[in-house]
Chains A and B, each alone.
Chain A
Amino acid sequence: MTSYLIRRIGFILITLVLASIIIFSVTQFLPGDVAGIILGQFATETAIANLREELGLNQPLHIQYLSWAGGFIQGDWGNSLTSRMPIRPIVMERLGNSAMLAGMALLIYVPLGIILGVIAALKRDKLPDQLISGVSMAFVGLPEFVSGLLLITFLAIGLEWFPANSSISPDSTFREAFPYLVLPAITVSLTGLGYIARMTRSGTIDVLRTDYVRAADLKGLPAWQVLIKHVLRNSLLPTVTVVAMGIGWLLGGLIVTEAVYGYPGLGRLIVFSIQRQDLPMIQACSMIVVAVYSISNLIADILYGLLNPRIRVGE
């Protein structure tokens, strides 16, 4: 297990370095000159030249990269070009908001997806399975702006259970934010649910067919014990991976849902900074998303290892 962990962490470090190089170089190729963007279109040539000198933009690229990456590691993420404010607090705040939404969504769709997937597997090819598989697939295909608007129409405007707009103030606590989180979380869950349910269903069907589950049945263990101890332990392995991949998507990729509800998450910040060509902000957000993806995959790998003795204890 230790060598497995070291290997995984090693891979993640390599991923992060590669990603930072790609992010850095992509922002170099974006149209427009940073100094020009900062000073606006009426700036004089000299002013731009001075600012370029000041920002170190005349140095060779690798020096620029190293000073950017070094600063990033030390917590100096620079200032936003649009608001002139330090980037780090803004990004961390938005990350916190995204994490709240992600956590809420995960709490809804992971258990529900697993339960539905297991039911579908147990009732394979019968009505419950067909219902679950059909409906969950329909939701996966339904764009978030459609499902989001439907939810707003019925649950917010019609029944008035939840607020229609989730534009909470950036520094809200979870308790304050909770009512605003429900609808976006449900919207996101509708998409995520289908993947989890499908994965769980196929994993469980595979395991139900194995000899060791037959053997467990014929040991006379109660049916629920066979299911939980002998089936799920093995059948949820692929689901773990899907959940982990979902975390990255929840934290950085909910652009549509956040827009529909006006929720101040990381996704909207990214779109916003791209529109304003706020390069340091784009870089910081992208690095955070990459880091989140890597770390959630690491967690998935660790969980996978813990559940799977073939990895935990070698040959």
Chain B
Amino acid sequence: MPDPAADFKIKENQDICRPVLDARDITVTYRTEKGPLHTVRNVNLQIGSGEIYGLVGESGSGKSTLARALVRYLPANGILSSGSVHLGDTDLLALTKAEMRKVWGARVTMVHQDPNAAINPAIPIGEQIAEVARIHLHMNKNDAKDKAMEMLNKVRMPDPESVARRYAHQLSGGMLQRVLIAIAMTTNPELLIMDEPTTALDVTTEAVILDLIGELMFEYNTAILYITHNLGVVARVCNRVGVLYAGEIMEEGCISRVFKNKLHPYTRGLLGCVPRVDANKKDISLKAIPGYIPRPDQLPHGCIFAPRCELVEPACEEKRPSLIEIESGHLTACRRHEELKKIGDVVADTRESHEEEAEYGELVLDARNIKKYFPVSAGLSSIFGGKGSEVKAVDDMSVRMRRSFTMGIVGESGCGKTTFARCIMGLEQATSGEIELEGELLPYSVAKRSWETLRKMQMVFQNPDASLNPQHPAGESVGRPLILLRDMSRKQVQERVKELFQAVNLPEDFINRLPHELSGGEKQRVAIARAFAADPILMVCDEPISSLDVSVQASLMNLLVDLQESQGTSYLFISHDLAAVRHLSDWIAVVYLGRLWEIGSAEDVFVPPCHPYTEALLSAIPIPDPDIRQDSIRLKGSVPSAMNIPSGCRFHTRCPRKIGPICENEEPPWQDAENYHQICCHIPLAELRSLQGEGLIKKPQSAGGDSK
């Protein structure tokens, strides 16, 4: 099968004679109480037909504002204070609001970030596509219905007829995103703006949607503005990329040049933050970008990136450099780009292991055969003898963890990762199984555990906004476990809180701040400090970094590694971000539908991946390097409901390597590989290995490379 991604990338170098979108000198200003804020400044943007232009940057860089300005859909207090926007021959700024409505949905369409929120919950799916056809294509009711069906087929929607009649709450996130794409493509628009279209999706679903976008663009020749914070996604689907920082473009060019030469320190910074699937904490430490994006009213005088730049020199701070073209189509706003070329490709620091491969430490946690079934209420019918069924959220999972050791748990959302962690913590009462902490058998419920046990186990939650009391100053949140669990005096507590803030790299005066005065990353640091305050031996981290920007993610991951090294704490690290898990974990457990399918050292599990599910997860990760070719193993559909678990091997309904009826009828056996690496699959280990060759990720030395 030809690789569509390869085909459409051929277009990368084609000349764009006449851009579909031609936006020049765009400046967006928000009127605020503190005066005007110029959120986007002097941005030029040209996108040709059939081109996918990636716009990347941290949150707050002005990506979405720029996109909304281009289609003249700014909030009431935002204005396009300078610049011009042309769509083909049309000057968009000259149109009235009513004329703009004829452009929206017809010539420019948009796909939003959260598909669950972007589809009207009260209107059937089919109608939401058909209404576009009626308005813009002037179709009658029946033709519009047919068109809706055609579009659902175009986006490879399984069972389109029934989907058209259904409502948003009956579809999965991936299916809803297909619907949004179908709506956007109905009128065959000239420009499609996608604002983080896959950010809310699982990595496996993301991969499928990205493939779909690539295929459709090949077919439709639409110009696409693709907004994302994920450089891996850019590398996978885009032809050209613009790096936006604090409202200005820092670097722009075609994918291969930008990713290879990286002629701006910010681009380098962003790439250095991303953990790699082929290395972990022992090999490299991530390079976080220090500091934060400046507010538009507090921009530095010279280069706006200077305060965070490693290569800064006095001249940088004097005059703001303009965006200049280095070679055809490759622009940078760094005045030291020549030197950057020489510095070459050093992105991540290699790391010296402080200790030689230590032998396994003593056993900290031994959780055996944990099960958690949630009863499903049958409502009133239970009075009439109806029987509630059960959701088997966790169905027989076991892990063992040793001292100063990180166990990563990966799997798609809804596979039971979080429930498992909550059972260990006692926040959910396990249905059955045994949880042993340092040899002591623990009660299921946190309420029945001793203070000492509580001290030993701490948790960092995904959303720091919800896990910190908004009324308590940060220092008080951190101090509470010291008082409650460690019996410290007021004075000792003060001292220790200061130390903890230092340990998580927060300035001392943050102690008195309330959570809303802190950024997301800072809040998560406070949450980590609070967890460490108890001096735990085991810390459960449930997606602690997923809601944060890449640069913040990197600094938090480094922090976790450093703290582990100094404190000897063990982490149970849960994430759907496989690269992050790979970076942090010594040992990885792969979970699907409440069960483990593979467990072993990070190296053994990922390089090469053996279990078909691990393989699919890995091949889905978008890697921020356009030269890397990945196998495209895609999973069909979404995780089945835990109320209705498939027979035999639970993965057989989606397994790309299903071998036959045995998968449907028999539970697969555990197979032991060397190094305590275990795999649960019907396919013999040797065969699984041979399917992989030298591993998933290959750097093709010459163009082409073998496809599979």
Chain A residues at the B interface, C-beta cutoff of 8 Å: 3, 6-7, 10, 210-212, 214-223, 225, 229-230, 233-234, 307-310, 313, 315
Q: List chain B residues, Cβ under 8 A from A6.
A: 380
* A-B interface, 3 closest residue pairs, ranked by CB to CB distance from nearest: A220-B105, A220-B104, A211-B117
| B131, B136, B379 — most chain A CB neighbours (10 Å) | B131
- Using Cβ atoms and an 8 Å threshold, which residues of chain B touch A217? 73, 101, 104
C-alpha spacing A234/B121, complex, angstroms: 8
Chain A residues near B183 (CB-CB < 8 A): 215, 219
B484, CB-defined interface residue at 8 Å: no
By the criterion CB–CB under 8 Å, are B136 and A220 in contact?
Answer: yes
Interface residues of B in 65-80 (CB under 8 A from A): 71, 73
Nearest-CB distance from B166 to chain A (Å)? 8
**A309 touching B117, Cβ below 8 Å:** no
User: Which of the residues B71, B101, B109, B121 comes within 8 Å of A221, measured between beta carbons?
Assistant: B101
The CA-CA distance from A234 to B122 in the complex, in Å, is 7
**Interface flags, B48-80, vs A, CB<8A=1, else 0:** 000000000000000000000001010000000
Contacts A7-B379, A309-B169, A313-B170 hold; do A212 and B104 have CB atoms under 8 A apart?
Answer: no
Chain A, residue nearest B116 (CB) = A211
What is the bound-complex CA distance between A223 and B183, given in angstroms?
Answer: 18
Q: Is the CB of B135 within 8 A of A215?
A: no
Closest chain-B Cβ to A4's Cβ sits at a distance in Å of: 9
Cα separation A162 to B119 with both chains bound (whole Å): 50
Q: Is the CB of A218 within 8 A of B105?
A: yes
Other A-B pairs, 15, CB within 8 Å; known A3-B379, A230-B123:
A211-B118, A212-B118, A212-B121, A214-B112, A215-B110, A215-B118, A215-B120, A215-B183, A217-B73, A217-B104, A234-B121, A313-B166, A313-B167, A313-B170, A315-B170
Given A211-B117, A212-B120, A219-B183, answer yes or no on A315-B103 (Cβ-Cβ < 8 Å): no
**Contacts A211-B118, A212-B119, A233-B122; is A218 near B380 (CB within 8 Å)?**
no
Which A residues are CB-close (under 8 A) to B124? 309
Tell me whether B122 and A7 are in contact (CB under 8 A). Answer: no
A276 to B71, CA, bound (A): 72
CB-CB nearest in chain A for B134: A221
B102 within 8 A of A: yes
Q: Is B701 an interface residue (CB 8 A)?
A: no
CB distance from A8 to the nearest CB of B (A): 10
Question: Are A310's CB and B169's CB within 8 A?
Answer: yes
A14 smallest CB distance to B (angstroms): 11
Residues from 114 to 164 in B contacting A, C-beta threshold 8 Å: 114, 117-124, 131-132, 135-136
- Asked whether A215 lies within 8 Å of B106 as measured between CB atoms, the reply is no
A-B contact pairs, 28 of them (CB 8 A): A7-B380, A211-B112, A211-B113, A211-B117, A212-B118, A212-B119, A212-B121, A214-B112, A216-B120, A218-B110, A219-B104, A219-B135, A220-B102, A221-B135, A230-B123, A233-B120, A233-B122, A234-B120, A234-B121, A307-B122, A309-B121, A309-B122, A309-B167, A309-B169, A310-B169, A313-B167, A313-B170, A315-B169
Where the two chains meet, the residues of B that have a C-beta atom closer than 8 Å to any C-beta of A are: 71, 73, 101-106, 108-110, 112-114, 117-124, 131-132, 135-136, 166-167, 169-170, 180, 183, 379-381
Q: How far is the CA of A214 from the CA of B135 in the complex (A)?
A: 17
Known pairs A10-B380, A210-B117, A214-B112; A219 contacts B131 (CB<8 A): yes
- What A residues does B108 contact at CB under 8 A? 218
The answer to whether B120 and A230 have CB atoms under 8 Å apart is yes
Q: A310-B169, A315-B169 are in contact. Are A218 and B109 (CB under 8 A)?
A: yes
CA distance A14 to B41 in the complex (A): 65
User: Which residues of B are found within 8 Å of A230, using beta-carbon distances?
Assistant: 120, 123
Q: Which of A220, A307, A310 contacts B103 (CB 8 A)?
A: A220
- In the complex formed, the residue of A with least CB distance to B122 is A233
B105 engages A221 (CB within 8 Å): yes
In the complex, A180 Cα to B191 Cα: how many Å?
A: 62
Q: What residues on A are CB-neighbors of B167 within 8 Å?
A: 309-310, 313
CA separation between A225 and B122, bound complex, in Å?
15
Q: Chain A residue with minimal CB distance to B167?
A: A309
A308 touches B122 (CB 8 A): yes
**Chain A residues within 8 Å of B102, by CB:** 220
B359 to chain A, nearest CB (A): 50
Given A210-B117, A233-B122, A315-B169: A223 and B112 within 8 A (CB)? no
Which residues of chain B come closer than 8 Å to A315, judged between CB atoms?
169-170
How far in angstroms is the closest Cβ of chain A from B383? 9
CB distance from A271 to the nearest CB of B (A): 38
- Nearest-CB residue, chain B, relative to A312: B167
Known: A3-B379, A233-B122, A310-B121. A219 touches B71 (CB 8 A): no
Q: Tell me the nearest residue of chain A to B101, going by C-beta.
A: A220
Cα A144 to Cα B136 in complex, Å, equals: 52
- In whole angstroms, what is the CA distance A309 to B112 when docked? 22
- Kindly identify which residue among A10, A212, A219, A229 contacts B132, using a CB–CB cutoff of 8 Å: A219
Closest to A222 in B: B101
Residue of B101, B104, B117, B381 near A3 (CB, 8 A) is B381
Counting chain B CB atoms within 10 Å of each CB, the highest count among A215, A222, A223, A233 belongs to A215
By a CB distance below 8 angstroms, the chain B residues around A216 are 120
Q: Which residues of A contact B117 (CB under 8 A)?
A: 210-212
Contact partner of B131 (CB less than 8 A), chosen from A211, A221, A307, is A221
Q: Least Cβ distance of A183 to chain B in Å?
A: 39
Nearest CB of B to A11, in Å: 9
User: What chain B residues lie within 8 Å of A220 (beta carbons)?
Assistant: 101-106, 132, 135-136
- In the complex, A216→B101 CA distance in Å? 10
Residues of chain B within 8 A of A214, CB atoms compared:
73, 112, 118
Residues of chain A within 8 A of B132, CB atoms compared:
219-220
Q: Residues of B contacting A309 with CB < 8 Å? A: 121-122, 124, 167, 169
Q: Give Cα A308–Cα B105 distance, bound, in whole angstroms.
A: 26
- A211–B113 alpha-carbon span in the complex (Å): 9
Determine the distance from Cα of A313 to Cα of B108 in the docked complex, in whole angstroms: 34
A218→B73 contact, CB < 8 A: yes
B101 to chain A: which residues have CB within 8 Å?
217, 220-223
A5–B124 Cα distance when bound, in Å, is 22
Contacts of B113 in A (CB 8 A): 211
- Measured CB to CB, the closest approach of chain A to B707, in angstroms, equals 37
Contact indicator B73/A233 (Cβ below 8 Å): no
Q: How far is the CA of A3 from the CA of B384 in the complex (A)?
A: 13
Residues in B neighbouring A221, C-beta threshold 8 A:
101, 105, 131, 135
Residues in B with CB closer than 8 Å to A222 are 101, 135
Q: B529 → chain A, closest Cβ, in Å?
A: 35
Determine the residue in chain A with the shortest Cβ distance to B132. Answer: A219
B114 contacts A219, CB within 8 Å? no
Chain A residue numbers with a CB within 8 Å of B136 are 220
Give min CB distance, B97 to chain A, whole Å. 8
Enumerate chain B residues within 8 angstroms of A210, measured Cβ to Cβ.
117
Complex Cα–Cα for A230 and B119 (A) = 10
| Distance in angstroms between the alpha carbons of A233 and B166 in the assembled complex | 17
A212-B116 Cα distance, complex, nearest whole Å: 9
Q: Which residue of A lies closest to B381 (CB)?
A: A3
Q: Considering the complex, give the chain B residue whose CB is closest to the CB of A229.
A: B123
**Distance in angstroms between the alpha carbons of A315 and B641 in the assembled complex:** 11
How long is the Cα–Cα vector from A310 to B168 in the complex, in angstroms?
Answer: 9
Hey, which chain B residues are within 8 Å of A310, CB to CB?
A: 121, 167, 169
Closest B residue to A125 by beta carbon equals B76
Determine the distance from Cα of A158 to Cα of B15 in the docked complex, in whole angstroms: 82
**Alpha-carbon distance between A279 and B164 when the two chains are bound, in angstroms:** 59
A residues near B123, Cβ cutoff 8 Å: 229-230, 233
In Å, the complex CA distance between A214 and B380 comes to: 39
Residue in A216, A223, A230, A233 with the greatest tally of chain B CB atoms within 10 Å? A216
**Closest partner residue, chain A, to B112 (CB atom):** A211
Residues in A with CB closer than 8 Å to B169 are 309-310, 315
**B692 → chain A closest CB, angstroms:** 38
Please report the C-alpha to C-alpha distance between residue A201 and residue B167 in the assembled complex, in whole angstroms: 26
Q: What CA separation (Å) do A307 and B122 show in the bound complex?
A: 7
What is the CA–CA distance of A53 and B380 in the complex, to the nearest angstrom?
43
Cβ contacts under 8 Å, B131 to chain A:
219, 221, 225, 229
CA distance A182 to B596 in the complex (A): 72
